[in-house]
Amino acid sequence: MTLLTTWPESGPQTVVRRTADPAEIAAALAPLGVRYEQWPVRADVPADAGGDTVLTAYRTEIDRLNSEEGFSSVDVVALHPGDAPDWPQRARAAREKFLTEHTHDDDDEVRFFVSGAGIFYLHVAGEVHAVYCEKGDLLGVPKGTTHWFDMGTEPSFTAIRFFHEEDGWIGNFTGSGIASRFPGFDDIHAGHVQAQTA
């Protein structure tokens, strides 16, 4: 289940908003220019499915989004425990790359979660919005939006990525240490799972 948590940028001591309602999440993110929607989850697509299988399964949704947004390329990125002998090193390097606050000058960051989960943290207008995304969630972060992404210490996800620019992901890092002041994926994920099973 998706979760949106909003705090003041000063820190997580005060919760401004917390909701798992998709309509409320979309309404809260829309004024920030952030696209949030849910696509049907394809039960016949395994969590570790290859890129061609994923793209074929979601072709209708991909084509619709492409026609609306004019993306030049679409691909699939996956990171799952044990998927390569060097998985611990790959996971650590991947997490560190995205865990520092940054922006993108030339492209939006648009991701659809086929499986697994991750959290986008949006730092906008004096607040930090943590958007916990899982399978079925699509999030579009507009270019220029200050943000970071946490996939946790044991990443497990498959996502479709959409690009307007052929260069793909290029981050401009702000040098801020703000990400270290807020709960990371592991803490939010554990609390979220516990709340769902309570």
Percent of all residues in the chain with a pLDDT value above 70, rounded to a whole number: 95
Q: How confident is the model at residue 194 (pLDDT cuts 50, 70, 90)?
A: low
- Residues 6+ away with beta carbon under 8 Å from 56: none
pTM comes to 0.94
CATH 2.60.120.10 fits 3-193, yes or no: yes
d(CA 49, CA 114): 9
Q: Which residues make up each annotated binding site for Fe(2+)?
A: 102, 104, 109, 147
Query: Could you tell me the two tokens for 131?
Result: 């958007």
Q: Which residues make up each annotated binding site?
A: 102, 104, 109, 147
Task: Name the more confident of 90 and 18.
Answer: 18
Question: Across the chain, what does the average pLDDT equal?
Answer: 92
Enumerate the domain spans of the chain: 3-193
Encode pLDDT of 6-43 as tens digits: 999 999 999 999 999 999 999 999 999 999 999 999 98
Q: Is 158 exposed, middle or buried (0-12, 13-18, 19+ CB in 10 A)?
A: buried
Q: Which residues make up each annotated binding site for Ni(2+)?
A: 102, 104, 109, 147
pLDDT value for 186: 95
